[in-house]
Structures are given as structure tokens and as C-alpha cells.
Amino acid sequence: MVVFEIIVLGANGGPSEYGTQSFILRPVRAESPALIAVDGGAGMHQLREMLAQKWNDNEDYDELVPSFYEHDREPIEFFVNSKLSIQRGLSRSLLQSLKRHGEHFEDANTTNKAYKLFQGITDYYITHPHFDHISGMVINSPSIYEQENTKKKTIWGLPHTVDALQRHVFNDLMWPDLTAERSEKLKLSYLNSKEVHKCTIFPWDVVPFKVHHGIGVKTGAPVYSTFYIFRDRETKDCLVVCGDVEQDHAGLEESLLEDFWSYVAENIPLLHLKGILVECSCPLSFKPEQLYGHLSPTCLINELSNLNTLYNSSKGLSGLNVIVTHVKTAPAKRDPRLTILEELRFLAQERNLGDLRISIALEGHTLFL
Ligand SMILES: [Zn+2]
Ligand SMILES: [Zn+2]
């Protein structure tokens, strides 16, 4: 059964500034146009683009997606597993719920529609405060004061995220401190690692996990990020959405990733693990010292092999959807996303991980898992 609808606003890991990591989640076929976001690297502009797209019931996938390497556009099937349920733009279910809940929605222009849609995002779950994960959210934030907007927004995160956003972003220097407004329309709220938090608008549990993400250039101090598990309380199905991450290694004090996979294998039956959205920033040609707190295909397959060992299923991880995000743009002959996808598929086969369904997250598309 399909449970999660994932709108990919941004899946880019920089240095190109367009469409950096940002996902919107909702239960499939939800009645209301309520939404939550995981990371906010992109926002309103992408929503406008998606609303402006013509929706076609019989869209078959001879669709071309932007690439800008061998060709400026490449066929979508180069990027996604054939069994992945994906469509360009927004789902019919979401558009219908917007029509039901918004007067004159259908007659509104695309920008007014985008504001309506954006109002529905009441909660942001941020993985870490790097610009490529927050820029859209920050720049979009004044729109909560639009007259028609009656909804509030809460930005959730582990202490390393919330403290940095308060101290270094919403501080009246980098950006107005909208959290200090008397209307309290924008709020920052703490989550605790490994503690179950009840999502305020969906019947979902959210469990955040602190993970490592390299070290500071000047300080050498550890940098942290977050993995989120979203669990539907009715169906028990789960979705894992990862922030930037580095593998556990000898120099680190805690084995945060090992703890994470153990939690997953102990608490989520493999059949209920609907998908993992995870970064794989750099291709195999990058040396370990060039990763700067990110994963390469070898690292990601090592992590998935660890999960496979913990599940100990005779079929490996067959049927599991792994959606790769945050691939870095770099001068190259071939689209690095296609290089990484090929490397991941090769390594997964070599390590006998079963019929793993690996795809690239594509901006401007909706996935159903
Ligand atoms: Zn990033
Ligand atoms: Zn980062």
C-alpha cells in the first residue's frame, strides 16, 4: 500500500544554488491540504513551477528532465527505477484538496495558488542549519504575515539546529528575528535525539536521530546533522529522510549511524520500510579526504550492507526504495547523478543486496511510497 506522498522541491547538494535540499510530505490521498517540510533549501518558487505545469492523467514517461551535461535534458528513466511511482508536478489528490479547502482556488493565478499551497506547510523539520538546507525557508518566511494567512509555522530541529537558527539566522542581522514577533507566527522548537515526537497535523510519529557531518574548518569541532523517521501510526509504515551525513569512523566518539540502523532493524519490519531518502554527494572518483562529511557510493552501500546484515532477510533488501539526494554539481562530462546511480547499482549487486530500487530524487516531481 502506498502511504507517503513526497514532493521533491529541491534535491541538489550545491555548489549550484538552485533547488537545494527540500522535501514536502503528506499522507497519500489526505483530505486536507496540510503539509510538512523536511529541510527548506527550496520553496515558493518551485511550488509555482509545479503549479504551472499541466497535469496530464495519461502522462507516460517519455519525459525529459534537466541535466546540463551530455545533453541539457535527459529521459527520466535514466534517473529512476522503473518500479518507482513518480509523476511530474503535484498530485491530483493534493490539487483537489486545495480546491475543496480554498474558495476560488481554481480561478486564482499561479502565484496566488502558490501562496495558498505554501500556507499549508505548518511544520518544518530541519536536518541541520547549512544554507543549502534552509535558504528557501528563510527567504519565504515573511510570507506568513500576508493578510490572508492565518496559519502559524513551527521550525523543529535538534538543539544543534534550533540554536544555530536562532543565534545565527533569525537574529536581526542575518535575517529579521521573526520568532520575536508578538503574533508568534513563527516558532522554533526543540526535538530530542531518539525521542518520539507526535506530528501535530498527521497521525505520524517523528523520530529524529543525531548523526555526524564532518568537522568545522576552523574549529575542527564535530558538525552534526539529523536523520528523521516518519511513522504512520495506523499502517505502521515508515519513511526515512536523511540529512547530510558522514560514516562512523575510528576518530569519532560515538557510533551514531550504527545506532541508527540498529534502531531501524529492531523497530521497523522491512516490509514497513517504504523508502530511504539519503544523500550520496560525490562519485567514487572522490578520495575519502574530499568528502567533507558526506557519503560516496562506497560509503552508502556499506551502510545499506550493515542494514542488510541486521535485517538478515533471505531476499536481502529487495523491494526497498533508496532515493538518492544531494548530489553535488561539478564540471564533468557526464551528469554526476547518473555516474553515482550507476556506481551504486553496481556495488549493490556486488554486495548481494537483493532487488534494491535505487533512484535519483528529481526536483519538481512527486513520489509515492
Ligand atoms: Zn547539504
Ligand atoms: Zn551540510
- Distance (angstroms) between ligand 2 centre and the Cα of 294 equals 8
- Distance (angstroms) between ligand 1 centre and the Cα of 131 equals 8
Confidence of residue 53 (pLDDT cuts 50, 70, 90): confident
Helix, strand, coil % (nearest 5) of the chain? Answer: 30, 25, 45
What pLDDT score does 62 carry? 74
Question: Phi and psi at residue 190, in whole multiples of 5°?
Answer: -85, 145
Mean pLDDT of 69-87: 97
- Distance (angstroms) between ligand 2 centre and the Cα of 130 equals 5
Any idea which ligand is nearest the CA of 246? 2
Any idea which ligand is nearest the CA of 212? 2
| pLDDT at position 54 over 80 | no
Which percentage of the chain shows pLDDT scores above 90?
A: 90
CB 179 within 8 A of CB 166: yes
- pLDDT tens for 278-287 read 999 999 999 9
| pLDDT at position 22 over 80 | yes
CB 155 within 8 A of CB 129: no
- Distance (angstroms) between ligand 2 centre and the Cα of 211 equals 11
Cα–Cα distance measured from residue 351 to residue 354, given in angstroms and rounded to the nearest whole number? 9
Name all contacts of 147-153 with Cβ < 8 Å and 24+ positions apart: 148/115, 148/119, 149/115, 149/119, 151/119, 151/120, 151/122, 152/122, 152/184, 152/185, 152/186, 152/187, 153/121, 153/122, 153/123, 153/124, 153/185, 153/186, 153/187
- pLDDT tens for 91-130 read 999 999 999 998 889 999 999 999 999 999 999 999 999 9
Distance, CA of 318 to chain centre = 22
Beta-bridge partner residues of 33: none
- pLDDT tens for 227-253 read 999 999 999 999 999 999 999 888 888
Question: pLDDT averaged over the chain?
Answer: 95
CB atoms within 5 A of ion ligand 1 belong to 130, 132, 244
Distance, CA of 333 to chain centre = 27
- Distance (angstroms) between ligand 2 centre and the Cα of 61 equals 32
- Distance (angstroms) between ligand 1 centre and the Cα of 130 equals 6
- Distance (angstroms) between ligand 1 centre and the Cα of 338 equals 19
| pLDDT at position 215 over 70 | yes
Mean pLDDT of 252-274: 95
CA dihedral sign of residues 320, 82, 24, 292: positive
- Distance (angstroms) between ligand 2 centre and the Cα of 131 equals 8
| pLDDT at position 368 over 70 | yes
What pLDDT score does 55 carry? 59
| pLDDT at position 313 over 90 | yes
| pLDDT at position 56 over 70 | no
Q: Which residue has the cell 526497498?
A: 320
| pLDDT at position 59 over 60 | no
Confidence of residue 149 (pLDDT cuts 50, 70, 90): confident
Mean pLDDT of 28-42: 95
